[in-house]
Amino acid sequence: MYRIWPTSMNTYREKLGILSEMIAFARSDAGIKESEHTFLLGVSRMLGIDQNDFRALLDEGVNPRQPKTQMERILQFHRLLLLMNIDQEQHPEEIRQLHNIGLHMGLRPSAVQEVLAAMHRYPDLIIPPRELIDIFRKHEN
């Protein structure tokens, strides 16, 4: 699995917010599939989220928190992209929701569109992190 989050993440609450947003996104296509649950569980472990807190997020949720830096937003967008593609299915609603999440995070619309188009050039629709970052850098100029 890619290392897809910064090591300097500030607080446990921010980690819960990131995971909460991922869980909400996983539910966007009529529930969390087993492959998505496994991915989310792995992310929760890598973030150091207590298993009881993970279960509570699945049951109750937490208000998602906006990542503070541009790099953290790009990395969160990448995590959501990975989550969307974990089951190797993309539903129009998922793509629309991911696009809107990217815009809500303040990511450039042209970069979000390019990432969503570029994913089809890679096996399993997984854009390498370096490529993703290069796309966003290109659109910042």
Q: Reply yes or no on whether the pLDDT at 79 is more than 50.
A: yes
Q: Looking at residue 103, what is its pLDDT?
A: 92
29 phi and psi, to 5 degrees? -115, 50
> H or E stretch including 111?
helix 109-118
Euclidean distance between the first and the last CA atom of the chain, given in angstroms as a whole number? 30
> H or E stretch including 8?
none
Q: Reply yes or no on whether the pLDDT at 1 is more than 50.
A: no
Question: Which of 137, 9, 19 has the alpha carbon at shortest distance from 72?
Answer: 9
Please say whether the beta carbons of 108 and 140 come within 8 A: yes
**CA distance linking residue 103 with residue 109, whole number of Å:** 6
With pLDDT > 70 as the criterion, what percentage of the chain qualifies? 89
- Tell me the pLDDT tens digit for each residue of 24-44: 888 877 778 889 999 999 999
- Tell me the pLDDT tens digit for each residue of 59-71: 886 666 777 888 8
Residue type, 37: H
**CA distance linking residue 112 with residue 135, whole number of Å:** 9
Residue type, 11: T
CA dihedral of residues 8, 10, 13, 17 (deg, nearest 10)? -60
Which residues neighbour 4 within 8 Å (Cβ) at sequence distance 6 or greater? 75, 78, 79, 82, 129
Please say whether the beta carbons of 65 and 14 come within 8 A: yes
Q: Looking at residue 5, what is its pLDDT?
A: 44
pLDDT average, residue stretch 89-107? 87
